Chain A
Amino acid sequence: MTTTANPTRGGLTARALPPENLVTAGEVAAREGTAGRPRAADSSAARRAAGSVPSAATGGEAAHPTAVDSGARHHRPAGRLVGASVRRREDPRLLTGRGRFVDDLHPAGVLHAAFVRSTVAHAEVASVDLADVLATPGVVAAFTADDLGLGDISARLARPVEEFVPTDMPILARDRVRFVGEPIAIVIADDAYAVEDGLEAAKVTYRTLPPVVSDTAALAPGAPLVHDNAPANTLVDVAMFATPGIDEVFAGAACVVRVRTKTGRQNALPLETRGAVAEWIDKDGQLVLHTCTQTPHQVRTVAARSLGLDEQAVRVVVPDMGGGFGIKCVVGREEIAVAAAALRLRRPVKWIEDRKDALTASFLAREQRYDARAAFDAEGRILALDADVVCDMGAYSCYPFTAGIEPLMASAEMPSVYRVPAYRVRGRAVTTNKAPTAPYRGVSRPQYVMVVERLFERAARELGLDPVEIRRRNVITEFPYTGVNNITYDPGSYRESLDLCERLVREEGWYEAKAAAAAEGRHLGIGYSCFSERTGYGSAAFAARKMEVVPGFDIAEIRMDTTGAVTVTSGTQNHGQSHETTLAQIVADRLGLDLAKVRLQQGDTDRITYGWGTFASRSVVVGGSAVGRAAAKLADKLLVLGAHLLGTEAGEVELAPGGGVRVRGDHARAVPYTAIAEIAYLKSNLLPEGCEPGLAATASFDVLDDGTFSNATHACVVELHAGTGRVEILRYICVEDCGVAVHPQVVEGQCRGGIAQGIAGALFEQVTYDDNGEPSATSFMDYKVPTALEIPDVAIHHLETPCLFTETGAKGAGEGGTIGAPAAVLNAVNDALAPTGTELDDTPVTPETVRNALANGPRAAAAPTGEEDR
């Protein structure tokens, strides 16, 4: 373990960001080239910073405390776009119904596909009879696995077979089905209604096998095997970091606490389901696959491999996307089957997943079981952490991440924001007869943060310490910090975020409110979570996971045209994160251009050299740095050519605001970009000797160390309603630090949306399976996505510890909200339950469990601590 002084400590600033103070309307209008467009000032900074307590008819209770505004105002350097909440460039088309999502594409003669899916969880497929399907009016074709002969999707880790068992996922099931909803045949018809008539006519007979429907059943001795080559249904089994002497540390510790928890299986649930439109284009000799994916190049790789084509014969194009949240960063079987059908039929084929399939037959996530212990000394300092993690990954490994995605993330990063001297973990992925899993916003971090934060709260209770104080004694404060998990943490504001968050809760009066409620016999609770989020995983970090394909870098290309406007490409993939605005802000700043002069191109494998798409909060870190570097390279050439036109040396000139080159110290001597572009393209005879025509540059960026860690502290105040068990969130505060916020409003949007998804997992959403492997949630009646009446307003406060190696100082901000929320909510619920002695560690916490806890209490603590039955 090494610690050194933090070089940026002095640069830490606290700020709150009322949007109207970021940039004036005129300034935005001028920079966006849309002067004159009205921009009303946001009404009240205090209201916005404070959020508001959702009005709820709870009657007869003490008034809620009022919120206070805090933090200094942020000032960004004049003229810079990075740091300004400019209007999103995506918005006009999305607000007017002129976005183009995959289901909006309607090539002439398009056919519609749907899938005959398994109705049983585990079986050998005895026969598939599609004769009646083909006789259905409107049906054009129907194919089974044998008809198409496609290669399987195979995802691999470079680990020995004791640690990783490779399994393949066929595009269409052949002789065996492994979950309800598994595709068996693709049916193609002339409209989306007729194709469903066709599905009904399919006759599939099964020789059923006993299904494996839980992680415990999967690991039970003599359990049926989901994959014959995976003994004990275990796909990944990795033990890490067994610090020597850890057992002695536990044996001698003043306090040992334990948390056992199971988290519900969730659906990432982008509102736009998955979908694809595939078409063979003779002129280009290409299969063009329009699909809503976060990772177009990876789809191309799998499609080409599966279809037996060169990659240049497959073009993946991504239209506007209605969210993804991780479920769309893996390659699905259906889009490959659609591509195969289009190739076979030589007609465009469209598949739009319906909601029932999206809920049951798509990729799910998050179902994990933890048995974790932590040892503390009498002062509350953590001495050791020991955890066993089992992730129920369902029927197949996803590409490219494999079934290792969840257990390896949890194992690598569980020590979280704390100085943990000794650590041991075993992470396992088990396979079951359930829909397979994909990464979902946060990937294991919502769970292990919840487990670690519960361990700290429990230790505080045991030791009689304040739950914030015990965290304060343990958070990492010296950076860079290399942890027991061999990860080096770059500078963050762990302690500062904790302090500020607690201060806000105190100043708003929630501790008094809790006491007053208790006096009235009501149940208020306050919960915190303090955590970090590794963002911008580079190739080094993914290589450490031993992925066989190693994501990490991004490449950007930039071209300036004769009008002085630029087009920049990025291998990242916007699906709601505002890249068209934020990446353009970075480029515009580098070149001194108006935002309107910068256009971003993403999501087309023919136009983008290569990319890893958008996941793991990587876009602004990796993609943002790549576009920044490409712009800087282009700037170098502009300076050379500008100096040439000005008759001076490149060292004597600089970029001029508004798009030109000027002589340093003599700003009147300047040339606009248009003049430079003119000689680069239209009068190349005037170029200096040795200078090539054109204005283009390519740059790449990779994160070669352990990435950069955003951090935050969340606080949640809940009231539990005894009669119904309802958990009402009265207040939610987030103090976050993602370094330099390129677009603060977008960062706040990511926080709020992430927190909503975290609350959803903590309190509402879950897919369960019955003994036959039948999923419980087939509609939005059963899968309870929370609405505006369940999700509270969130007050957001910002700290800024700039990243030392990104081009802008930005860290990623995509997942933090989701990571922190379950722990804060669960801690608040348990704080409110404290008088009852019952502790709830499983999610989602349902009204019924809360009601029972309140009805049964008060009684002795039910939660075991100590060493029994390990």
Chain B
Amino acid sequence: MKPAPFTYHRARDTEGAVRLLAELGDDAKPIAGGQSLVAMMGFRLARPRHLVDIARLPDLDYLRRDADGALRIGALTTHHTVETAGDGALGAGYAVLRDAMRWVGHLPIRTRGTVGGSIAHADATAEWCLLAVLFDAELTAYGPHGERRIPAAEFFHGFYTNALEPDELLVDVRFPAPARHAALTEFAERHGDFAIVSAAVTLDFGPEEGAGPGTTPLRGGRVALGGVAPTPVRVPEAEEVLAAGGRADAALFAECAARAAAAVDPPGDANGSSQYRRSLVRTLVEQALEEAVNR
């Protein structure tokens, strides 16, 4: 379980990294934390001839609030940085990102693995991919021709494939609007494993001061699922239930969860049949909605 030979390059800045990737072509791969890539190389399931180490690129490790309320996360920010971020950095509107980090592998993975690396790896059950889809995140790619912004909905193309060109780097992830009532939950046989199914939701009670589950009727919400398709998906059928408004109570959540389960047609594998995954969708969406409303 030793990787095939490669040449190691360390990029000094983003431009240099992109130039290197362009020069080296399809044989090159960027490496940041490497928490997925190195294991795949050990099994020789990935065998790039060149690795471009982007871990030391300056200015890509940040959590930043924009004036418009958006949150920007630099691609080289580790899961651990998000996990340990103070309230000041995230605020209640993005606390779900911090809370979701306990589902990402284990501590020694989170200290090395990066937000950008996880999204670029495009595992259908990865927490960051799901969060990006849930929040309609905007992903900034940087390439030889400059920057390009890609909506999360267009970023994930299938198992481990995404919209990035081989010479492009993901540099920034922008979560455009906070969601105070949001939650992510998932199920795997062992904690820390890739989820069999993961579910993330937001609930919208309106922007007014004091708006919330106790005082305001539900105005809408989002439901996103991992582990039911080659990419994380939003579930419009379930979101319709939330958009119809009313009291955010158990009955509504059960209805929303049932609609989500009915809407998906997950592929079965050794970790769970299609039917089992569908039942997990129902359980986890309901659970996530309960968690979200109580935030």
Q: Do chains A and B touch in the complex (CB under 8 A)?
A: yes
- A binding-site residues for B, Cβ under 8 Å: 192-193, 196-197, 200, 354-356, 723-726, 764, 768, 776, 778-779, 781-782, 784, 786-787, 789-790, 846-848, 851-852, 855
Residues of B within 8 A of A193 (CB): 2-3, 5
Residues from chain B with Cβ under 8 Å of A789 in the complex: 190-192
What's the minimum C-beta distance from B271 to chain A, rounded to whole angstroms? 9
A768 lies within 8 A of B43 (CB): no
For this complex, into which size category does the number of interface residues on chain B fall? Answer: 20 to 34
Q: Are A779 and B43 in contact (CB under 8 A)?
A: yes
Known contacts A724-B283, A848-B276; A784 and B5 CB within 8 A of each other: no
| CB 8 Å contact bits of B253-279 with A (1 = contact, 0 = none) | 000000000000000001011001001
Q: Which residue of A lies closest to B283 (CB)?
A: A723
B187 within 8 A of A: yes
How far, in Å, is A600 (CB) from chain B's closest CB? 35
Contact of A848 among B1, B2, B272 (CB under 8 A): B272
Residue among B2, B191, B193, B280 making CB contact with A724, cutoff 8 Å: B280
What residue of chain A has the Cβ atom nearest to residue B290's Cβ?
A59
Q: Which residue of the partner chain, among A192, A764, A787, A851, contacts B2 with CB atoms under 8 Å?
A: A192
Residues of B within 8 A of A787 (CB): 190-192
Contact assessment for A354 and B1 in the assembled complex, using a CB-CB cutoff below 8 Å: yes
Alpha-carbon distance A786/B191, docked complex (angstroms): 9
Minimal beta-carbon separation of A850 from chain B (angstroms): 11
A847 partner residues in chain B, CB cutoff 8 A:
187, 189, 276
Q: Residues of B contacting A197 with CB < 8 Å? A: 4-5
Q: Which residues of B contact A786 (CB under 8 A)?
A: 190
| A672–B129 alpha-carbon span in the complex (Å) | 74
Contact B276 A851 (CB under 8 A): yes
Is the C-beta of B44 less than 8 angstroms from some C-beta in chain A?
Answer: yes
B194 within 8 A of A: yes
* A356 near B43: Cβ-Cβ < 8 Å: yes
Interface status of B114 (Cβ within 8 A of chain A): no
Nearest to A356 among chain B residues (CB) is B1
Instruction: Determine whether the beta carbon of A200 is less than 8 Å from that of B189.
Output: no
Contact residues in B for A848 (Cβ distance below 8 Å):
272-273, 276
Once bound together, how far apart are the Cα atoms of A848 and B193, in whole Å? 16
Enumerate 25 A-B pairs (CB-CB under 8 Å) in ascending A order: A193-B2, A196-B44, A197-B5, A200-B44, A354-B1, A355-B1, A356-B1, A723-B279, A723-B284, A724-B284, A725-B276, A764-B190, A768-B270, A776-B270, A779-B43, A781-B194, A784-B190, A787-B191, A787-B192, A789-B191, A847-B189, A848-B272, A848-B273, A848-B276, A852-B276
User: Using Cβ atoms and an 8 Å threshold, which residues of chain A touch B190?
Assistant: 764, 784, 786-787, 789-790
- Given the complex of chains A and B, what is the CA–CA distance between A778 and B45 in angstroms? 13
* C-alpha spacing A192/B187, complex, angstroms: 38
Write the B189-228 contact mask toward A (1 if CB under 8 angstroms, else 0): 1111110000000000000000000000000000000000
Residues of chain A within 8 A of B3, CB atoms compared: 193
Bitwise, B76-97 to A at CB < 8 A (1) or not (0) is 0000000000000000000000
Query: Are A781 and B193 within 8 A (Cβ)?
Result: yes
Inter-chain residue pair count (beta carbon < 8 A): 60
CA separation between A848 and B277, bound complex, in Å? 9
**B282 — nearest CB in chain A belongs to which residue?**
A723
Query: Which A residues are CB-close (under 8 A) to B189?
Result: 764, 784, 846-847
A784, B193: Cβ atoms under 8 Å? yes
CA distance A355 to B42 in the complex (A): 11
Q: Nearest Cβ distance between residue A391 and chain B, in whole angstroms?
A: 24
Q: What's the Cα separation between A790 and B189 when bound, in Å?
A: 9
Q: Nearest Cβ distance between residue B40 and chain A, in whole angstroms? A: 11
Which 9 residue pairs are nearest across A and B when measured between Cβ atoms? Answer: A723-B283, A354-B1, A193-B2, A848-B276, A789-B191, A196-B2, A724-B187, A784-B189, A784-B190
Nearest to A724 among chain B residues (CB) is B187
Tell me if B287 and A723 are in contact (CB < 8 A).
yes
Residues from chain A with a CB closer than 8 A to the CB of B273 are 848
Most buried by B among A200, A724, A776, A851: A724
Q: For the complex formed, measure the closest distance between the CB of B187 and the CB atoms of chain A, giving whole angstroms.
A: 5
In the complex, how many angstroms separate the beta carbon of A351 from the nearest chain B beta carbon? Answer: 14
Q: How far is the CB of A562 from the nearest CB of chain B, in Å?
A: 50
Contacts of A723 in B (CB 8 A): 279-280, 282-284, 286-287
> What residues of A have a CB within 8 angstroms of the CB of B191 in the complex?
787, 789-790
Cα distance, A784 to B196, chains bound together (Å): 13
Within 8 A of A (CB), among B44-81: 44
Chain A residue, CB-CB nearest to B280: A724
Contacts of A781 in B (CB 8 A): 193-194
Complex Cα spacing A848 to B190, Å: 14
**Complex alpha-carbon distance, A113 and B136, angstroms:** 51
A197 to B44, CA, bound (A): 10
CB distance from A853 to the nearest CB of B (A): 12
CB-defined contacts of A784 to chain B, threshold 8 Å: 189-190, 193
Closest-by-CB residue of B relative to A195 is B2
Instruction: Please name all residues of chain A whose beta carbon is closer than 8 Å to the beta carbon of B187 when the two chains form the complex.
Output: 724, 726, 847
**In the complex, residue of chain B having the shortest beta-carbon distance to the beta carbon of A355:** B1
Q: Which of B1, B4, B192 has the most chain A CB within a 10 Å cutoff?
A: B1
Q: Provide the residues of chain A in CB contact with B43, threshold 8 Å.
A: 356, 778-779
Contacts of B4 in A (CB 8 A): 197, 200
In the assembly, what is the distance between CA of A354 and CA of B42, in Å? 11
Instruction: Name which residue of chain B comes closest to A766, CB basis.
Output: B270
A642 to nearest B CB, angstroms? 58
Complex CA distance for A846 and B187, rounded to whole angstroms: 13
Q: Which of B141-183 contact A (CB under 8 A)?
A: none
A710 to B272, CA, bound (A): 40
B189 and chain A: residue at smallest CB distance: A784
What are the residues of chain A within 8 A of B193 when measuring CB–CB? 781, 784
Q: How far is the CB of A354 from chain B (nearest CB, A)?
A: 4
- Shortest beta-carbon distance, A847 to chain B, in Å? 6
Q: What sequence of 0s and 1s flags, for each residue 281-293 of chain B, a beta carbon within 8 Å of any chain A beta carbon? A: 0111011000000
Taking CB atoms, residues of chain B closer than 8 Å to A200 are: 4, 44
Closest B residue by C-beta to A768:
B270
CA distance A606 to B282 in the complex (A): 65
CA distance in complex: A354, B39 (Å): 13
Known A764-B190, A855-B279; 9 more pairs at CB < 8 Å: A192-B2, A197-B5, A723-B286, A764-B189, A784-B190, A786-B190, A789-B190, A789-B191, A851-B279
Q: Kindly list chain A residues whose C-beta atoms are within 8 Å of the C-beta of B276.
A: 725, 847-848, 851-852
| A781 to B195 CA separation, bound complex (whole angstroms) | 11
Shortest beta-carbon distance from B78 to chain A in Å? 22
Name which residue of chain A comes closest to B191, CB basis: A789
- Report whether A782 and B2 are in contact in the complex, using a CB–CB cutoff of 8 Å: no
* Cα of A660 to Cα of B89 in the assembled complex, Å: 71
**Docked CA distance A855–B282 (Å):** 13
B127 to chain A: closest CB distance in Å? 16
Contacts of B287 in A (CB 8 A): 723
Residues of chain B within 8 A (CB-CB) of A778 are 43
- Chain B residues with CB under 8 Å of A355's CB are 1
Which residue of B has the minimal Cβ distance to A770? B270
Distance of A55 from chain B, by nearest CB (Å):
13
CB B288 to nearest CB in A, in angstroms, measures 12
Q: How far does the alpha carbon of A726 sit from the alpha carbon of B2 in the complex, in Å?
A: 36
* Cα separation A196 to B190 with both chains bound (whole Å): 31
CA–CA, A154 and B220, complex, Å: 71
CB distance from B291 to the nearest CB of A (A): 10
Bound-state Cα–Cα, A848 to B278, Å: 11
Q: How far is the CA of A786 from the CA of B190 in the complex (A)?
A: 7
Determine which residue in A196, A200, A723, A768 has the highest number of CB atoms from chain B within 10 A of its CB, and name it: A723
**Chain A hits for B283, CB < 8 A:** 723-724
User: 0/1 per residue, B215-245, Cβ < 8 Å to A?
Assistant: 0000000000000000000000000000000
- Min CB distance, B121 to chain A, in Å? 14
Shortest beta-carbon distance from B20 to chain A in Å:
24
- The distance in angstroms between the C-alpha atoms of A764 and B270, with both chains bound, is 13
**Inter-chain contacts of A192 with B (CB < 8 A):** 2
For B286, list chain A residues within 8 Å (CB). 723
Residue of B5, B190, B191 contacting most chain A CB atoms (<10 Å): B190
Q: How far is the CA of A774 from the CA of B170 in the complex (A)?
A: 38
B106's nearest neighbour on chain A, judged by CB, is A787
